[in-house]
Amino acid sequence: MTLYDKVFDHLLVKMDAEKAHHLTYDALRAGGPVLSRAPIPGRAPVEAMGLTFPNRLGLAPGFDKNARVYDRMGAFGFGHVEIGTVTALAQPGNPKPRLFRLPEDRAIVNRMGFNNDGSAVVAARLAKRRRGDLVLGVNIGKSKVVPDDDQAAVEADYETSTRRLAPHADYLVVNVSSPNTPGLRNLQAVEKLAPLLRHVRRTADEVTAAPIPLLVKIAPDLSDDDVLAVADMALDLGLAGVIATNTTISREGLRTPSAKVEEVGAGGLSGAPLTERSTEVLRLLRGRVGDRLTLIGVGGISTPEQAAARVAAGADLVQAYSALIYGGPMWPRQILKAL
């Protein structure tokens, strides 16, 4: 058992999860310069989307919503970091408590609700930072006050974030798959998603000197047919890739007692329980798109073996977040040895 395991099991797991997250966040922020002096294994560059990634492993959005520490994360071994989700308007997110750990399942439930400083503040923050060879992805979502059934308003909302953030990003992700913003997942329907992505594409091209890779992130709860429909749409629109998958609303197969799960309530489930379905979705996508799109696998990657299996299933790159919280600062290096 590592020192981090002891701290997690005897201290962090007993604290309010959001407070513990901020403690972990601050510790990782402070520890970056120390770890930067230690060699990072598995530094095998990967070419994807016209970009050179130092390695296959990335930090998923949710950890650094507001672009405060992303430039420190390369020291832990991450080859890319995806910040966000960022919305056009600053918003506080959902009422607390809104972040919960399920240790028996190595899982996290969150209903954060896209709490973030807003695209104007985040863009200003990005403009002041240098990140070396770390690849930066920016994940954008819909502001809560914008109704999902008003297509013009939705497109205008994403346009605002795109104009502000695309010039600072290496790649851009449209997030329509979080379960914590009312109506957001309705935008995954191809008839709504395709025009939104076209609009984001046009906007990004207006504010960047060269075309920036554009991806869409989907939920594991889509049916297989809907996953394939998104794949076809991504090809038709000329997207750079698809990220599979976001959190799930399913609670099937959990080891955590049902009373505890009910007490936690609604929210997106991340971590180990997503492994099987996220891998299935990725395999479906790869079978449909061949080598024409970049696929980023995320969800339930906790062990080196699972990371390697996700690559074998078709992932060009992999991301994690929940596993970092459970595994601690040395976890990325363990994964890189398998990649």
CATH number at residue 103: 3.20.20.70
How high is the pLDDT of residue 190?
A: 92
**Dihedral in degrees, nearest 10, Cα atoms 116, 111, 298, 210:** -30
In the DSSP assignment, the letter for residue 188 is: G
Does position 131 have pLDDT exceeding 90, yes or no?
no
How would residue 310 be classed by pLDDT, with cut points 50, 70 and 90?
Answer: very high
Q: Which segment of 60-64, 287-291, 309-313, 328-332 scores lowest on mean pLDDT? A: 328-332
How high is the pLDDT of residue 10?
A: 59
How high is the pLDDT of residue 329?
A: 83
Q: Which segment of 74-78, 97-101, 236-240 scores lowest on mean pLDDT? A: 74-78
How high is the pLDDT of residue 32?
A: 62
Q: Which segment of 33-47, 133-147, 176-190, 224-238 scores lowest on mean pLDDT? A: 33-47
Binding residues, by number, are 61-65, 85, 110-114, 139, 175, 180, 217, 245-247, 271, 300, 321-322
Peptide bond into 162 cis (omega under 30): no
Does position 338 have pLDDT exceeding 70, yes or no?
yes
Q: What is the pLDDT of residues 229-276, one digit of tens each?
A: 999 999 999 999 999 999 999 999 999 999 999 999 999 999 999 999
How would residue 129 be classed by pLDDT, with cut points 50, 70 and 90?
Answer: confident
Task: Report yes or no: 228 and 284 within 8 Å, Cβ to Cβ.
Answer: yes
Per the prediction, the chain carries an average pLDDT of 92
The 3-state secondary structure of 243-303, one letter per residue? EECCCECCCCCCCCCHHHHHHHCCCEEEEHHHHHHHHHHHHHHHHHHCCCCEEEEECCCCC
Mean pLDDT of the region 117-122: 98
How would residue 38 be classed by pLDDT, with cut points 50, 70 and 90?
Answer: low
Mean pLDDT of the region 327-332: 87
Does position 36 have pLDDT exceeding 60, yes or no?
no
Range of the domain at 63: 3-338
Q: Of all residues in the chain, what percent carry a pLDDT higher than 90?
A: 78
- Where do the DSSP E strands lie in the chain? 46-48, 51-53, 57-59, 80-86, 99-102, 107-110, 135-140, 171-175, 214-218, 241-244, 268-271, 294-298, 317-320
Mean pLDDT of the region 4-23: 70
Mean pLDDT of the region 199-227: 97
Task: Report yes or no: 121 and 90 within 8 Å, Cβ to Cβ.
Answer: yes
Does position 34 have pLDDT exceeding 70, yes or no?
no
Mean pLDDT of the region 207-235: 97
Amino acid residing at 61:
P
How high is the pLDDT of residue 35?
A: 61
How high is the pLDDT of residue 19?
A: 81
How high is the pLDDT of residue 13?
A: 65
Residues with active-site annotation: 178
Q: Which segment of 16-20, 79-83, 208-212, 308-312 scores lowest on mean pLDDT? A: 16-20
Tell me how far apart the alpha carbons of residues 268 and 100 are, in angstroms, rounded to a whole number: 10
Which residues lie below 8 Å from residue 19, measured CB to CB, with a gap of 6+? none
Tell me how far apart the alpha carbons of residues 29 and 228 are, in angstroms, rounded to a whole number: 39
Q: Which segment of 83-92, 132-141, 180-189, 216-225 scores lowest on mean pLDDT? A: 180-189
Q: Which segment of 107-111, 130-134, 180-184 scores lowest on mean pLDDT? A: 130-134
* Pair of tokens at residue 195: 């025009």
Give, in degrees to the nearest 5, the angle at Cα 273 between 105 and 285. Answer: 165
Which residues lie below 8 Å from residue 184, measured CB to CB, with a gap of 6+? 141, 142, 148, 175, 176, 177, 178
How high is the pLDDT of residue 90?
A: 98
Binding residues for substrate, by number, are 65, 110-114, 175, 180, 246-247
What three-state secondary structure class fits 317? strand
Number of domains comprising the chain: 1
Specify the long-range contacts of residues 126-130, CB closer than 8 Å, at least 24 apart. 126/67, 126/165, 126/168, 126/169, 127/168, 129/67, 129/70, 129/71, 130/71
Amino acid residing at 127:
A
